[in-house]
């Protein structure tokens, strides 16, 4: 099986060694239940001891002990809750979700405890500096944000609301994770799709079954000639989660607003943004208001060009409107026709094992690291690989990461980097080294071909691995500030910046090689065409991001009576594409229920910073190790141990600017 054989010329191999004593991926469903219960009992005892320090509170015995107790609780739950996303056993996944829900409810209780708040308030702030001062201040703020300044009855009401929200969020995400819908299509309806795509589809009689998972959905929507077939699949895709998720979302929006008002905030958006870089909804609204006209100016002629292509295809029956099931298809046809760019041909130059080897080499050289594969991985699935990270200069251990890259039933369906064990200074002065996991859903290898990546997937790979580096290279003293635990509207910036590397000829020479002859690199003339086409329809794609951000913010400023109608209205107003009748796409908008509530704008917001940071690398050279070392020191290692704006200015050597972002997407001010 061709997975990540890696020909580890850059990474090497090592014998198996547990990356952390906290991790155990062999847990059964019963083992998860007992482990979660035992972990809760341990942390409850430690928190009781913290509460007892109220009359002799100190930073070490109270504030740091509180932070450390919760950090260890998180470590203890790492395996059970992560298995909910990746296990092949449905019972284990269910047990992991139950553990996650229970622990989330428990944390609501923790931040509602008067005895803990009293002890923490008694910690003398005088003399505290740096991370220690920040830890105490932010811990107290967290208690206030959970109602500890409210009368007891109001506080209990807020806690009950939050617990209900946790339950609804878990149910919402589970409905998406367990989605198994397939759509049957005839041979004729598959006209235009790549042969290798069709060859790997399961069949029911003479019909091919197309799932709603990304590796099926996107190739179909980009290539299927039959508009009726595209509409059928898009309708199913936009109805994931069902009416039950529509109800869960609507109820959650109402509960979030109630909880925010109980705590003294006008809306849930005001509550969330208080501790983000944006700080207030008005700043986000101003950001989106400023950006939208620029994006529309670029998007409108882009849509007009796509509609012209549709009219040429459909003739008299064309409705002259770019529909939700049309735009990906005609964007792809435009790339093929005008720029001779065919994703299916390009991906022949990006076999996953070669891309992985090249990517690891780039990150090692840029950040001064050495990666070594650990065999066997002793992970949760045979496909999973495990790597050790060492500092190249000193040879010291930095951390570990897993790679789980192929789809399977019940697995998390997107691409993400999971922080399993966080880095932090331990009581004995040693440093706990982080462990992370990258989870993706790239096309599986077959007997005929290795796994091949589209260029956009290579970009995603670099992005998610950027999160792995952020999580692993931390040197923050306290877990609260460790790794990618930064403001949510900055967390994507380091990874978004690293997407730029996959557009560089010098980097692509290391990443590409035709799967039939690895010596044949991505041809320069093809790369030139790809670069020329990089910003084709960028107005459309960024308007889509602006739409998601606008819908998220609007929903949390004033929950709509009908989320589907509100979604439809905003989609047409902002994205300029009408919603497909009979669908409810908001039911599968996982971000809004998975931690990005009132924060989806962060993808656009952080990309401004990402491109500004990349401008520094452009001047020095994207593979310049000195700039990489400065980036590691000023951005990755510090986490949120200081304000994100300070880290940005330290790396940039100046105030941030949005000019590189606008130039990158083909816009001028």
- Active site members: 464
Please tell me the distance from the alpha carbon of residue 100 to that of residue 159, in angstroms, as a whole number.
17
Determine how many CB atoms are found less than 10 A away from the CB of residue 446: 13
CB 509 within 8 A of CB 268: no
The DSSP call for residue 326 is: T
The alpha carbon of 195 is separated from its chain's Cα centroid by a whole number of angstroms, namely: 31
Determine how many CB atoms are found less than 10 A away from the CB of residue 552: 24
Please tell me the distance from the alpha carbon of residue 165 to that of residue 135, in angstroms, as a whole number.
27
Contacts of 282 (CB under 8 A, 6+ apart): none
DSSP 370-403: EEEEEES---SSTT-EEEEEEETTT--EEEEEEE
In the chain the first and final C-alpha atoms are separated, in Å, by 51
Is 129 strand, coil or helix? Answer: coil
- Report angle CA 58, 59, 64 to the nearest 5 degrees: 130
Rounded to 5 degrees, φ, ψ at 148 are -75, -5
Is 141 strand, coil or helix? Answer: helix
- Residue 219's nearest CA partner among 198, 240, 203 is 198
Cα–Cα distances in angstroms (integers) from residue 183 to residues 186, 232, 589, in the given order: 10, 8, 21
369 forms beta bridges with 391
Determine how many CB atoms are found less than 10 A away from the CB of residue 519: 6
- Burial of 276 from C-beta contacts in 10 A (0-12 / 13-18 / 19+): buried
Q: How many H-runs (helices) and E-runs (strands) does the chain carry?
A: 26, 11
Contacts of 337 (CB under 8 A, 6+ apart): none
Rounded to 5 degrees, φ, ψ at 83 are -60, -25
Please tell me the distance from the alpha carbon of residue 494 to that of residue 601, in angstroms, as a whole number.
16
């Amino acid at each position: 099986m061709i997975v990540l054989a890696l020909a580890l010329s850059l990474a090497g191999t090592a014998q198996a060694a547990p990356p952390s004593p906290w991790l155990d991926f062999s847990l059964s469903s019963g083992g998860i239940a007992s482990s979660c219960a035992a972990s809760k009992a341990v942390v409850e005892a430690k928190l009781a001891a913290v509460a007892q320090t109220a009359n002799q509170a100190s930073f070490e015995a109270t504030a740091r002990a509180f932070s450390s107790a919760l950090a260890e609780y998180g470590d203890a739950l790492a395996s059970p809750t992560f298995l909910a996303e990746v296990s092949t056993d449905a019972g284990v996944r269910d047990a992991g979700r139950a553990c996650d829900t229970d622990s989330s409810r428990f944390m609501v209780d923790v931040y509602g405890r008067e005895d803990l708040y009293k002890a923490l308030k008694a910690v003398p702030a005088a003399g505290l500096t740096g991370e220690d001062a920040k830890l105490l201040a932010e811990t107290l703020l967290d208690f206030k944000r959970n109602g500890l300044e409210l009368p007891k009855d109001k506080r209990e009401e807020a806690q009950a609301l939050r617990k209900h929200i946790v339950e609804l969020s878990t149910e919402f995400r589970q409905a998406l994770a367990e989605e198994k819908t397939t759509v049957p299509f005839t041979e004729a309806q598959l006209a235009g799709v790549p042969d290798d795509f069709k060859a790997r589809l399961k069949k029911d009689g003479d019909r091919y079954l197309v799932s709603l998972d990304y590796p099926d959905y996107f190739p179909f929507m980009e290539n299927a000639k039959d508009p009726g077939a595209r509409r059928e699949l898009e309708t199913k895709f936009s109805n994931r989660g069902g009416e039950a998720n529509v109800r869960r979302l609507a109820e959650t929006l109402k509960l979030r607003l109630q909880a925010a008002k109980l705590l003294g905030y006008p809306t849930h958006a005001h509550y969330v943004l208080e501790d983000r870089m944006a700080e207030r909804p008005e700043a986000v609204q101003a950001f989106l208001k400023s950006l939208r006209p620029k994006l529309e100016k670029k998007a409108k002629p882009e849509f007009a060009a796509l509609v012209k292509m549709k009219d040429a295809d459909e003739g008299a029956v064309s409705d002259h409107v770019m529909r939700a099931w049309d735009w990906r298809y005609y964007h792809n046809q435009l790339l093929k026709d005008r720029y001779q760019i065919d994703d299916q041909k390009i991906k022949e130059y990006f076999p996953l094992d070669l891309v992985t080897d090249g990517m690891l080499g780039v990150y090692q050289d840029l950040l001064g690291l050495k990666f070594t594969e650990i065999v066997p991985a002793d992970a949760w699935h045979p496909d999973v690989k495990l790597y050790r990270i060492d500092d190249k200069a000193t040879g010291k251990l930095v951390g570990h990461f897993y790679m789980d890259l192929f789809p399977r039933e019940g697995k998390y369906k997107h691409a993400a980097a999971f922080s399993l064990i966080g880095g932090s200074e331990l009581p004995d002065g040693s440093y706990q080294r982080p462990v992370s996991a990258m989870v993706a859903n790239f096309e599986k290898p077959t007997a005929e071909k290795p796994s091949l990546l589209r260029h956009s997937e290579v970009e995603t790979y670099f992005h998610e691995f950027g999160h792995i580096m952020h999580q692993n290279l931390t040197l923050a003293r306290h877990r609260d500030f460790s790794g990618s635990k930064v403001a949510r509207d900055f967390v994507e910036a380091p990874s978004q910046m690293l997407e730029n590397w996959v557009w560089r000829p010098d980097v692509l020479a290391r990443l590409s090689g035709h799967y039939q002859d690895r010596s044949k690199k991505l041809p320069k003339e093809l790369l030139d065409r790809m670069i020329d086409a990089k910003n084709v329809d960028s107005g459309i794609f960024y308007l889509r991001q602006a739409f998601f951000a606008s819908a998220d913010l609007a929903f949390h400023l004033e929950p709509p009576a009908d989320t589907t109608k509100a979604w439809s209205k905003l989609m047409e107003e902002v994205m300029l594409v009408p919603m497909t009748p009979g669908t409810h796409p908001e039911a599968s908008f996982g971000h809004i229920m998975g931690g990005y509530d009132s924060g989806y704008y962060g993808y656009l917001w952080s990309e401004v910073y990402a491109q500004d940071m990349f401008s520094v690398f452009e001047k020095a050279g994207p593979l310049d190790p000195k700039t990489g070392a400065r980036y590691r020191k000023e951005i990755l290692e510090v986490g949120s141990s200081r304000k994100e704006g300070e880290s940005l200015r330290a790396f940039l050597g100046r105030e941030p600017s949005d000019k590189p972002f606008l130039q990158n997407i083909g816009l001028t001010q």
